[in-house]
Structure 1
């Protein structure tokens, strides 16, 4: 069943169950069990052992020497979530979140302003999508809550600025990874007309989905565009003051029952976040420099950085600053223990979902879903259709596997091979199409770790975020598909980009008064 159409069963089953039951863990668990049974020829005992081995592999792995070592990437990501939960909880008890909300509501007087500030923060913090999702959410949440902006819309703003910005930024963990892949593709096919960095920069205006998604985010904030279920969340937030669905269970990062000091200051929130940013970026540069052989440049540092370890270092620094400020409030000692425990508790739902997502991604990888989807690509087609076809296939693959990076790793070499075997002039357009499609599929997938962390950062119910973001992602993808068709037929970057922008303007003009929520 590996590498065949049957390999689509586990991810499709999980995705359909998520859509119909809205129960993430049950849906992912079902996909995991079915996938394991398929891998082990429906041997129940062997399937159970397979799942156990995958879960064990998330935390400890056996090296070439036969000894066991910690899988630091996964462990550090989970540890960073716990650190962030503790930071958020202690900041709330110290009164920092309330003080920032009161200050911000005086300075940012409109809902549009609050949304625009969130979007700008999402663009500015382009170093890494994980960091972006969690940091922007924690800064923006007090402000958007005060302006009665639903958490679902906040999650959409976070998710739809994080990956689109990271994928077009050469100085980011994404950019460094992609440039490394491009470099190997250019070397494999003896392309010497341009280097990897030059190719990456040339491809930025060809990444039509990333640019369309960013334009749509701004338009949504400016013109109050609320598509389908997003309207329900916004109406509840505006009319009832409920930024979350009260019928849903507690969401990651939410600590509504915590005591709050009335002596809180804005700096009690701002300084820990600044410390978190400075600590993380400094750690990324340090770990990147340590892992770089030969000349150390900024690009090489980001290419070789250990993102997960850097997040933990930054989180520890941010937590240390938070504790210092917390102790300065002279609050009862039990409040500190309460803050730490509640912070850990608040992140457990996100951790459970993330672990389940990692397990099903491992199952999907072993059963060959990605290889099957990649194998659908056939070079015997009109070359003009290549960009849009690869955009859509990369989107399906990222949606089914829940990983844009994994899709990059599989699809970029395939796209390069097709272009080299047909017309090398199509190399950059098809590579850009794969990048764009991977982000699109990632945006739509409930098993994507970026999607999970965006809902965590926003304090939104995960499935609410997935279902409300989906129409916006599909809309941007439809516009992008037209742009990639024009790019394929004309090879004109300017014409494809201008057409996509013009289409976006037309769509926004149509939607600005449709499905909107009146704001008094």
Structure 2
């Protein structure tokens, strides 16, 4: 089906409402999946079979049935030869392996050793906050890799300076996707450029190459750039908004890095189990090997993919045709082997060593569970045609100057409702190109930029977004604490971006940036004033 109109919005809106009201992600997504299935299928048995088909399809590759039954699904699986669906399975394996690596680094004392080493060089809390920011800028090759690696690497130091896990998760999430979406030599850049290449071929656009078009979108991607700039100002001026202030005050005053009412984050290690006199190489050796091996594998599998397509082996082609999932799994497996070796050479108590491995697996189970439910929700939303319906709301008779801001808002809601930036890219970039070619060709690049920016905003505020889930997991934060505390920052960034895209459509990028910078400065001054008044009243 193409879409079911406004009815297709019921499951995502229900999921978002329940998540915000109840703060219980599993129950909220479960209810949304059931409602979506009852809408998508005519019979109750088909609805449950459809849910079963979707969940099994995350792990086994087979032909999905339009009218599923349990027996039909099993027959389809048998006909396909029980072939593994490697993408989702690889991501789950990557999470488990990285969870074990992080736990072993903590157990061996490597994290504490890094905290001592960095503490001798980074003397302030502000400096500790900038560590994940700069790491996020450097590790731009992939958002999954960024979110989990930066959080785990920075956590020992930010813990030492009593930075709440919610604040760390915000920094990680606000660098991972925004930096990936403006870097051409990233998995995101390659994917977007690939979509643009097919769009240009279909519409006979020859004014510039897909690579050039991507580069031209960067200075117009207001949300990504403002998010990064706003984050720098937040750290510099120590601005905490809404519930983030509550988390930060609790961390500073009582050294409670997470909400004590919610208990420890799953997989937290008992401090009594930690080895004494850890060495910094016990942190850096596994992580360096992990980074180097993963990047090498991304390039290697990309070269193989480009060759199989008969294309020249260039950096861009390698990034476009790389096998991200396989590279992450093998890279993390190599990193785990190194982590096991450096931990065992320190002669740990084997019982405690086993508990550390178990804690590493346990730490990723909530993220894996939420991801499975999120993937299932996204599949149901896809069946209902939610994304197609949102795209159909764009009217080609609208004044061209309004197109960038409209496509930004449509992309934002699509990213929020579907929980996927990449899906929104694939759906709205071709539609925006068709509208621009028909209505006003000069709006092509601004509309491309609006799609990319809106998708990132929707992704940032969506509790079913995989990058949101992984940023919380990598930072050791409760998932919903991260979602709620990040929301005000993302909304402020989005409001300024909306104004920027409105001005862009009528007056151009330079005028838009002048207004955007002024607005951002005003926002920072106002927030500083509010923080000072709050601090004064509390004293």
Superposed, which structure 2 residues align to 1:31-110 within 5 Å? 31-41=32-42, 43-62=43-62, 66-110=80-124
Question: Is 2:376 aligned against 1:375?
Answer: no
Query: Is the 2:311–2:317 Cα contact (8 Å) retained in structure 1?
Result: no
Q: Is structure 2 residue 209 aligned with structure 1 residue 166?
A: no
* 332-341 vs 164-173, which moves further: 332-341
Tell me how far 1:36 sits from its aligned partner: 0.7
Structure 2 segments unaligned to the other structure (5+ residues):
64-75
**CA-CA distance at 1:257 after TM superposition:** 5.1
Residues 205 and 497 of structure 1 are in contact (CA less than 8 Å); yes or no, is this contact kept in structure 2? no
- Write the distance in 2 (CA, Å) between the matches of 1:228 and 1:192: 48
Aligned ranges 1:248-397 → 2 under 5 Å: 248-252=262-266, 254-256=268-270, 259-292=273-306, 293-397=310-414
1:391–1:253: structure 2 CA closer, same or farther, 3 Å change rule? farther
1:255 and 1:346 in contact (8 A); partners too: no
Structure 1 segments unaligned to the other structure (5+ residues)? none
User: Which runs of structure 2 are paired with 1:499-510 in the superposition (5 Å)?
Assistant: 499-510=515-526
CA contact (8 A) 1:227 1:472 kept: yes
Shift of 1:275: 1.0
TM-score, structure 1 as length reference: 0.97
Question: Do structure 1's residue 497 and structure 2's residue 498 form an aligned pair?
Answer: no
Which of 227, 233, 246 matches 2:247? 233
User: By how many angstroms is 1:300 displaced?
Assistant: 0.5
Q: Which residue is equivalent to 1:153? A: 167
Contact 2:269-2:356 within 8 A present in 1 as well? no
- TM-score, normalised on structure 2? 0.94
Work out the CA distance in 1 between the residues paired with 2:263 and 2:437: 52
In the aligned structure 1, how far is the partner of 2:272 from the partner of 2:517?
46
The aligned runs of 1:423-462 (5 Å cut-off) are 423-462=440-479
Give deviations 1:273-319, integer Å, cap 9, x for gaps.
Answer: 11111111011001101111331001100011111111111101111
Q: Distance in 1 between matches of 2:374 and 2:311?
A: 37
| Counterpart in the other structure of 2:73 | none
Aligned 8 A contact 2:61 2:80 in 1: no
Tell me if structure 2 keeps the 8 A contact 1:219–1:508. yes
Alignment check: 8 A CA contact 1:165 1:210 kept:
yes
Deviation by residue 1:179-223 (Cα, 9 ceiling, x = unmatched): 011111112221111101111111100101100100111111111
Q: Secondary structure at the match of 2:61?
A: strand
Instruction: Output the CA distance in 1 between the equivalents of 2:36 and 2:272.
Output: 41
Deviation at 1:389, TM superposition (A): 0.5
Larger deviation: 234-243 or 247-256?
247-256
- Number of residue pairs matched? 518
The 1:466–1:130 alpha-carbon spacing in structure 2 relative to 1, beyond 3 Å, is same
1:177 to 2:191 alignment: yes
The answer to whether residue 201 in structure 2 is matched with residue 187 in structure 1 is yes
Find out whether 1:464 has 2:516 as its counterpart.
Answer: no
**Corresponding residue SS for 2:261:** coil
Query: Is the CA contact 1:228–1:468 (under 8 Å) kept in the aligned structure 2?
Result: yes
Shift of residue 266, structure 1, vs aligned partner: 1.2
Match of 2:22 in 1: 21
Contact (CA 8 Å) 2:19, 2:25: kept in 1 or not? Answer: yes
What is the distance in 1 between the residues matched to 2:483 and 2:194? 31
In the TM superposition, residue 265 of structure 1 has moved relative to its aligned partner by: 0.8
Tell me which of 222, 228, 233 is aligned to 1:219: 233
Report the 3-state secondary structure (helix = DSSP H, G, I; strand = E; otherwise coil) of the residue aligned with 1:442.
helix
Question: Displacement of 1:448 after TM fit?
Answer: 0.3
